[in-house]
Structure 1
């Protein structure tokens, strides 16, 4: 029986076709890889779930150096994003992704060491993790940025990271997203923005009361963040490279999506 942090046979059957084997060099030089993709992925998942350092990997996994190097290669070549994209698009094809209303929110992630894409806030130096979820709370896209910019300025960049073929019909956010210019830009793309008005709004009320009832279901993206927090490596950012941190989030979201497969 597989341990909790390791892939089951059913999970690996889904992931294996999405992970390419490393091609040999044309000149035949270089050592062949000693460890299978499944063994390495199990090691990466152990780090993702526990939040431990690569050097602390138990002996039942390949070495931390081996797992980190392959993880880094998969991030650079887009393998981890491709896995998330393939899983989401399959669920979209079979009708398990609902784009009629989607939720957006951001969370602050404390960044340790020197890092790319991090900034100062009242809570310290960190990264802003922006996430979009579908009507059922499944992850559709993630964008990492410096924690300094306001969330309303990161909405369109987050929309660009959506991995499904279709695009949201409505985006639901909290008061931070109450912005007439953003509302107009999204409307030009065929997306309705739904957000409660800020208490200091000076212009006339623009939010329809009936549409605003959808805001009551915003707890679904809060639940998604709770699911994500089960993967300890994303709770605090230890990666200097922003793409490595995003890669961990892509992998965590892929594991969440696989629950719909099995």
Structure 2
């Protein structure tokens, strides 16, 4: 029989202090808590990794209604983002996060059910998933938005989602991030943007070959998206509520950080 648990004892020992117990109503009404948080989180992780519908959750986990309800509560009260932030801050304190050279990119996610933060593109309706990785490719920030706007307009909002103390010293991106106005805005916060110039650029070049050597390491953000794509619930957005989709992304990033944490 397949294992009931996705989380190891070591992983749960790290996560359990970060997940608040379910709250009971002040009047004592409502359903009693029937399952512990570890069993529920294992059920949510099964959905995240398989990409299956909630109703297909196997019987070895708590009911899909229980898992969905608890997951929605964790999204609403910010628990999943708090878990990601706590793991990242602890790794940073241990010296395992490197902000000297970070990478940014975005990917298109098909949205099957529509909802907020869904836009039309040549590839159909979808959501743009933006991410920032540190020098080792670990996730530092994720941001979801409509797929319609250009990625360069989403950079500042993505930077605002960084979960570590301090900001990247250098932010490396592809040609989509070649923007003098963006360079000026991020320079105010001490961030140097490094991106190859677009073809046909009218204004004088602002970067030379020495700086662009860092661009050769941009494969690290591509590897981060490859890691995220192993969580199949992120490959396609089935959530009408964009906050729940972002919650799945936060949980996937936390699982990636756990590998470095332990």
Both proteins in one fold, TM over 0.5: yes
* Alignment match, 2:119: 119
1: distance between equivalents of 2:4 and 2:236? Answer: 21
* Alignment match, 1:99: 99
Change (3 A) 1:87 1:192: same
Secondary structure of residue in 2 paired with 1:260: helix
- 1:51–1:233: 8 Å Cα contact kept in structure 2? yes
- 1:127–1:145: 8 Å Cα contact kept in structure 2? yes
* Alignment match, 2:189: 189
Could you report, residue by residue, the CA deviation over 1:234-256 in whole angstroms, capped at 9, with x for unpaired residues?
00000000000000000000000
- 2:5–2:39: 8 Å Cα contact kept in structure 1? no
- 1:103–1:173: 8 Å Cα contact kept in structure 2? yes
2: distance between equivalents of 1:5 and 1:47? Answer: 13
C-alpha displacement at 1:11, in angstroms? 0.6
Secondary structure of residue in 1 paired with 2:129: strand
5+ residue gaps, structure 1:
none
- 1:129–1:144: 8 Å Cα contact kept in structure 2? yes
Change (3 A) 1:5 1:49: farther
2: distance between equivalents of 1:129 and 1:22? Answer: 30
C-alpha displacement at 1:94, in angstroms? 0.4
TM-score by length of 1: 0.98
Secondary structure of residue in 2 paired with 1:259: helix
Following superposition of structure 1 onto structure 2, how do residues 162-181 of structure 1 map, counting pairs within 5 Å?
A: 162-181=162-181
C-alpha displacement at 1:116, in angstroms? 1.0
- 1:2–1:8: 8 Å Cα contact kept in structure 2? no
* Alignment match, 1:36: 36
- 2:114–2:125: 8 Å Cα contact kept in structure 1? no
* Alignment match, 1:259: 259
1: distance between equivalents of 2:212 and 2:188? Answer: 20
2: distance between equivalents of 1:5 and 1:195? Answer: 43
* Alignment match, 1:151: 151
2:80 matches 1:80:
yes
C-alpha displacement at 1:26, in angstroms? 2.3
C-alpha displacement at 1:4, in angstroms? 8.9
Secondary structure of residue in 1 paired with 2:110: strand
Deviates more, 1:2-11 or 1:21-30: 2-11
C-alpha displacement at 1:174, in angstroms? 0.1
5+ residue gaps, structure 2:
none
Secondary structure of residue in 1 paired with 2:218: helix
Could you report, residue by residue, the CA deviation over 1:16-61 in whole angstroms, capped at 9, with x for unpaired residues?
0000001322222233210110000000000000000000000000
